[in-house]
Structure 1
Amino acid sequence: MDLPRKFTIRESSHRIHNPFTSEKLAALGQALHLAPGTRALDLASGSGEMLCTWAHAHRIVGTGVDISTEFTARARARAAELGVTDQVDFIHGDASGYVADEPVDLAACIGATWIGNGVVGTIDLLRRSLRPSGMLLIGEPYWRHEPPDQDSIEACHATAREDYRLLPELIEQFGELGYDVVEMVLADQNSWDRYRAAQWLNIRRWLDRNVDDELAAELRADLSGEPVRYARYEREYLGWGVFALMGR
């Protein structure tokens, strides 16, 4: 049970595995007015940056669950670096079936709603760990503008326009599911640049060291085509944000 090696190569230098900068992550933590002792659960926690930095800045406690052995190890190292190993714990496991032993104040899935087969299933999964009047955090893509054709849709990692929603439609969906949107922090084109461009540098440096690896040809093709495709399509049409939700 692990992430494909290609993904960990692409994001080998990333602390945040989404188009979010450390400044935006900090701004989100501040906007939520997290009280010391807030108990959090982060499903698909990646390298643990959210839990670790919020434990350090706001003295929250919590658990992260992620399928990647490499990212889980990085999360534990980050906790040690920030001196919060007594506040946060990271579990290598399948987040898609994880429910906390005790209700939490904050349940999050930031950019990995595939663990619940989409927004609806992921909210239902998180809700099972959440105390009454607790808060959910969902990180999710949306269309910045209507994609004009199928090429644009597929270049944004979708198969159909319906795979994502426009921002107002996504907020409406949360309401239809019975939740108020009480805060949101959105990626911008600069944070997308930082996320995607860092992948290209990671790939290039890996290729220079691993010319005979079985993944070299595939990653070489990715690096040759992705920057133009990103600039033409993804940077223009695809948005991303983290939404804080509370049940009505």
Structure 2
Amino acid sequence: MDIPRIFNITESAHRIHNPFTPEKFATLGAVLRLKSGTRILDLGSGSGEMLCTWARDYEITGVGIDMSQLFSEQATLRAKELGVADRVKFIHGDATGYVADEKVDVAACVGATWIGGGVVGTIELLAKSISPEGMMLIGEPYWRQLPPTEEVAKGCFAGSVSDFLMLPELLASFSELGYDVVEMVLADQEGWDRYEAAKWLTMKQWLKANPDDDFAKEVRANLTSEPKRYAQYTREYLGWGVFALMAR
């Protein structure tokens, strides 16, 4: 069980596998007013930076599940590095359909809503794990400006323009599902650049270390095309944020 190899390569040096920076996660933790002992479930937890830093800064407890064996191992190492291995644990597994054994205070899916087949399904899944007064966190892209063509949308790795909403419509969609949006923190251009551009040096170094790997051709193609694609499409059109929701 694992994610596609290209992601394990391109994001192997990432601590955060989305356009957030450490400062953005610190802001999110602060605005959520996290208290000591808050229990958090994180589906698609990546390399564990959110849970680990919040365990250090706010004394939360948490469980993260991720399909990438590499990222799960990195998360466990990060917890030990920050001295919070007794507060958070990470499971290498498929988070699809995962429900906590005991209700949690916060259930999160930050940038992996494919786990629930989209935003609606992910909200339904997270709702099974939170306490009645709990909160869920959804990390999701939105259009900063509407792509003029389907080709532009595909350049942002969307299947079509209809895959994502503009920010006002995304916020309204949460309300239509019966949830109040009680906070949001949005990625900025610097966060996008750090997330995307950091992959390029990783790919270059991987190619140097693995010139005869059967996968080198694909990595080479990605390194050649990604800088232009990102600057032309994702950087101009795609936004991303984490939205805190509570049931009405």
* TM-score (structure 1 length as normaliser): 0.99
Query: Alpha-carbon deviations, 1:56-90, whole Å to 9, x = none?
Result: 00000010011111111111100000111111111
Measured in 2, the distance between the counterparts of 1:2 and 1:179 equals 32
Distance in 1 (CA, whole Å) between partners of 2:72 and 2:229 is: 31
Offset at residue 97 of structure 1 (A) = 1.7
CA distance in structure 2 between the aligned counterparts of 1:48 and 1:223, rounded to whole angstroms = 26
Distance 2:159 2:48 in 1: 30
Q: Distance in 1 between matches of 2:215 and 2:205?
A: 14
Identity across matched positions, percent: 64
Distance 2:159 2:80 in 1: 41
Superposed, which structure 2 residues align to 1:48-67 within 5 Å?
Answer: 48-67=48-67
- Partner SS state of residue 223, structure 2: helix
Alpha-carbon distance in 2 for matches of 1:82, 1:159: 39
Hey, what does 1:24 align to over in structure 2? Answer: 24
Deviation above 6 Å: which 4+ runs of structure 1?
Answer: none
Question: Deviation per CA, 1:138-175, whole angstroms, max 9, x where unpaired?
Answer: 00000000101122110001121110000001001100
Corresponding residue number in structure 2 for 1:7: 7
Aligned residue runs from structure 1 range 1-248, under 5 A = 1-248=1-248
Tell me the distance in 2 between the aligned counterparts of 1:233 and 1:2: 28
Give 1:20 deviation, angstroms: 0.5
- CA distance, structure 1, for counterparts of residue 160 and residue 236 of structure 2: 17
**Structure 1 unpaired stretches of 5+:** none
DSSP-derived class of the 2:242 partner: strand
Q: Take 1:22 and 1:139, find their aligned partners in 2: how far apart are those partners?
A: 15
Deviation string, structure 1 residues 18-52 (Cα, Å, up to 9, x no partner): 01100001110011010100000000101010000
- Output the amino acid matched with 2:17: H
